[in-house]
Amino acid sequence: MGKVAVGAAVVCAVAVCAATALVVRHRMRSSGKWSRAVAILKEFENKCGTPIGKLRQVADAMDVEMHAGLASEGGSKLKMLISYVDNLPTGDEEGLFYALDLGGTNFRVLRVHLGGKEKRVVNQEFEEVSIPPNLMTGSADGLFDFIAAALAKFVGSEPEDFHPPPGRQRELGFTFSFPVKQTSIVSGTLIKWTKGFNIEDAVGEDVVGQLTKSMEKIGLDMRVAALVNDTIGTLAGGKFYNQHVIAAVILGTGTNAAYVERAHAIPKWHGLIPKSGEMVINMEWGNFRSSHLPLTEYDQALDTESLNPGEQIFEKLISGMYLGDIVRRALLKMAEEADFFGDTVPPKLKVPFILRTPDMSAMHHDTTSDLKVVGNKLRDILEISNTSLKMRKIVVELCDVVATRGARLSAAGILGIIKKIGRDTVKVGEKQKSVIALDGGLFEHYSKFRICLESTLKELLGDEAAETVVIEHSNDGSGIGAALLAASHSQYLGVVEES
């Protein structure tokens, strides 16, 4: 071989070695990055851990806070609001009742025909009405006059057979899903507006009084029989169909719980003990917090950057508004510290709440062999393309960690309520059923979340007690529930109808 050939061979060998070294370095670097991404996932998983012992501590803390909130106003992060609902439906209710459900940019008016034990809900009709944006920031008169006019129009379509007898008023259940200081079953003053409303002259005023004034102006003879929120409506709807219902939980965009308490177990209640001996308590449990809650750096950052820092900590761990964003925050850390999606951080990944919980659920439930749904969601929402199967699997694991923690904490919260009312153990010779009515899009549509919640509650209760506690889906509490509460708080209860 000539000198030239030898020289060329040496050059080639050097080049090959350099290229090989480059590949090895690249592999080491990428495997180093990959192991960093896996380490971030594992650390997150550990911090989100909800072993059964920790869940029992959360349930005990919930029980303690419930006692404190019932003892005095401001005694706990749990408001434990007295709802003034002391008569839940029995299933015997009969007649025609209306409901108004106001909780956002639309409101619904409903007409429900009740047929007693045999027929239950004979018929129901509803209409949805959009509120013009100018009325959401105008005057109280403007908004309530608009609502009263829509109600009057809806009453105008009432079938003739159902007109009330002369001298008898129509009755309405009013679901008002804004912060209210309730002063009776038929009155409550607005504390503040949320959800894009800002009508200054309504704050501090009685919302039932304002609606009544607007109805009187146009000659609509209708009485508000019950002012409630959607959680109490869910409790009423559940109880109408099943007398064993003792509590209701909403797991949707937000979360809340309400339950039936013995009136004498409410030290801050200074009124007369109601005939039923019971009172429904609106817990506002989204504001629960405890040192036992497994908070991570992502939860703390989400809370700090939220509109209400330090508030609604439990809600920020378990409700649909926030779960998707916790996943996004963990992915962002992987992108920043482990180049998880390549050399640059995808800009969309920095946008708060861009990853919604329904999208997280779709990825979590992906059963395709190549996790195609995950790939499509990452591409369509976050503009991240060319993801490997390995990467997609990590995304699914993240979804699982966040959903599992939320579901298991929800179960611990429910156990706290069951403990507070002494239904967590089976007494000798007693097999009373305790039914929890559950509603909300998260519970209804995120099946892995729902299944995990139900199995965790069974695990917490133990075999014997688990046989007596049932979770039932209770649909549309904010609508039908309000009409049912109008029926159970009717001024005509006990009045004998003349045939």
**Catalytic residue positions, numbered:** 195, 230
β pairing state of 222-228 and 170-176: parallel
d(CA 333, CA 37): 9
Angle among Cα 313, 382, 318 to the nearest 5 degrees reads: 20
d(CA 79, CA 231): 14
Q: Tokens 């899009």 — which residue?
A: 441
d(CA 81, CA 69): 8
Cβ–Cβ contacts within 10 Å for residue 257, how many? 29
Specify the DSSP class assigned to residue 97: E
For residue 231 the two structure tokens come to 């959680």
At residue 321, what is the residue type? M
Specify the DSSP class assigned to residue 443: H
Cβ–Cβ contacts within 10 Å for residue 288, how many? 28
| 98, 222 contact by CB (below 8 A) | yes
β pairing state of 170-176 and 94-102: parallel
Helices and strands, counts by H and E, the chain: 16, 13
Q: Can you name the residues that pair with 259 across neighbouring β-strands?
A: 247, 281
d(CA 199, CA 220): 24
Helix (H, G, I), strand (E, B) or coil at 228: strand
d(CA 493, CA 499): 16
Torsion on CA atoms 355, 359, 361, 366, rounded to nearest 10: -120
d(CA 110, CA 488): 17
Q: How far apart are the first and last CA of the chain?
A: 122
Burial environment of residue 43 by CB neighbours within 10 A (0 to 12, 13 to 18, 19 or more): middle
Q: What are phi and psi of 390, to 5 degrees?
A: -60, -45
